[in-house]
Structure 1
């Protein structure tokens, strides 16, 4: 059964998106590793506006995997 042309276009777009995402993760990991090699530490800090209540969030398994890929421990 031949695939339709629009499916081929979408598949190519998906592959390009995945490749860009992987390259960005590699670049981020390399940058963090260079920072660590130079003796500094890295972290991500979240800040909210005053008076907005007490928001909560949960890291997904994918979030944690990405953070580990760039040498950030999500359990801190």
Structure 2
């Protein structure tokens, strides 16, 4: 993914680069699991913002995604 690699150069800091790598890995994992990355990320962020319990965070991973 050349575009991702080039955009990662502008993460701003080492912490920003780490965050970028985490998000890029999760989106790639979604694609590998035949999940629409945009739909998965949108629903996951909505669920976290609504107070999803941290003990059930595994249920939010792309391989467990089922669109509502």
Of the two, which has the highest radius of gyration? 1
- Higher relative contact order (Cα pairs below 8 Å, separated by 6+ residues): 1
**Normalised by the shorter chain, which TM-score bucket?**
0.3 to 0.5
Normalized per residue, the structure richer in helix is 2
TM-score (norm 2): 0.34
TM-score (norm 1): 0.31
